[in-house]
């Protein structure tokens, strides 16, 4: 069964299941939305007006904001199973989640790791991340709202998901677009996390190299790294930056980088 259809069953109430079902049904209108966008007459995506909802799955219960982003697909084991498997193999240690969204992966890790650092720049997602950490009683999770880069000063402007109907490759971008604009602090990962790290996960819409450039000290502990490389575009640069690591694709566009023994 497709993860989106399976996720209807994860709705925490009948109302939540109905909202998720409406999200899934809207996918059938994507071809119309794509055609309208190409014609320069984009159609607003109605899913953002469905309201927030809760899902309950293997990692806990999660509140999800009103959005056209299908957060609900991330609650079960069927979504990015390779990443979930690696996270759930943790035996203590420190896990760092860069691009934590509303906390699905951080919550899984919190039940296996000693400490979790969850970093999310988007103000709405961060609000729900903190809410979900508290709702699940995850006392070993520390949350930071900021973007990460090679310097730890100033701020960066991000633009939210395109509000038009149809699929979108990015959830947020540094390039101006039709989505909402928001400004967030810019920090280096080395200034947020000290000591040895067992596993580092990076999902930052193409800015993975910038995150690693600000993590020189953290990388000295030789953590394993789950890193996204959309369409494998940044993979050659990641290999050059981490020449002693081996890369294995564990999900589509997600790679596990492991240090040489």
Q: What is the pLDDT of residues 15-46, one digit of tens each?
A: 999 999 999 999 999 999 999 989 999 999 99
Mean pLDDT of the chain: 92
List b or e across 72-97, with b for residues whose CB sees 16 or more CB atoms inside 10 angstroms.
Answer: bbbbbebbbebbbebbeebeebbbbb
Q: How many structural domains are present in the chain? A: 1
Segment (H or E) for 239: helix 235-241
Quick check: is 231 in a domain? yes
Strands 94-98 and 115-119 turn out to be parallel
Q: Assess if residue 135 is contained within a domain.
A: yes
Mean pLDDT of 72-89: 90
Could you tell me the CA-to-CA distances from 151 to 58, 66, 86, 147, 160 in Å, in that order?
A: 37, 33, 30, 10, 23
User: Per-residue pLDDT averaged across 68-80, rounded?
Assistant: 87
Range of the domain at 242: 79-259
- Whether 29 maps to a domain, the answer reads no
The pLDDT score that the predictor gives to residue 1 is: 63
Residue 123 falls inside a structural domain: yes
Q: Residue 109 belongs to a domain with what CATH number?
A: 3.40.50.150
Residue 240 has pLDDT above 90, yes or no: yes
Tell me which of 14 and 1 has the higher pLDDT: 14
85 occurs within a structural domain: yes
Q: What is the pTM of this model?
A: 0.93
More confident residue, 110 or 162: 110
Q: Count the helices and strands in the chain (H runs, E runs).
A: 9, 13
Instruction: Report the pLDDT value the prediction gives residue 231, as an integer from 0 to 100.
Output: 86
In a domain, 102, yes or no: yes
Dihedral (CA of 146, 152, 156, 158) sign: negative
- Is 40 within a domain? no
For residue 167, is it within any domain?
yes
- Mean pLDDT lowest for which of 51-55, 67-71, 80-84? 67-71
């Amino acid at each position: 069964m497709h993860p989106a259809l399976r996720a209807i069953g994860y709705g925490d109430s009948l109302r939540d299941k109905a909202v998720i079902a409406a999200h899934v049904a809207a996918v059938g209108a994507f071809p119309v939305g794509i055609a309208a966008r190409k014609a320069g007459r984009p159609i607003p995506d109605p899913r953002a007006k469905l309201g927030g909802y809760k899902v309950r799955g293997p990692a806990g219960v999660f509140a999800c904001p009103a959005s056209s982003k299908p957060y609900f697909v991330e609650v079960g084991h069927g979504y990015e199973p390779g990443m979930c498997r690696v996270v759930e193999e943790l035996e203590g240690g420190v896990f760092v989640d860069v691009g934590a969204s509303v906390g699905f992966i951080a919550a899984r890790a919190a039940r296996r790791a000693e400490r979790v650092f969850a970093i999310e720049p988007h103000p709405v997602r961060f609000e729900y991340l903190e809410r979900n950490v508290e709702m699940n009683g995850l006392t070993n999770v520390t949350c930071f709202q900021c973007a990460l880069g090679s310097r730890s000063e100033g701020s960066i402007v991000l633009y939210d998901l395109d509000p038009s109907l149809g699929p979108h490759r990015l959830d947020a971008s540094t390039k101006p677009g039709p989505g909402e604009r928001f400004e967030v602090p810019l920090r280096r990962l080395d200034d947020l996390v000290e000591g040895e790290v067992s596993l580092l996960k990076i999902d930052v819409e193409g800015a993975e190299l910038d995150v690693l450039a600000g993590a020189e000290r953290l990388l000295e502990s030789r953590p394993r790294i789950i890193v996204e490389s959309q369409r494998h575009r940044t993979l050659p640069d990641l290999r050059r930056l981490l020449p002693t690591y081996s890369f294995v694709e564990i999900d589509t566009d997600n790679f596990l980088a492991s240090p040489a023994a």
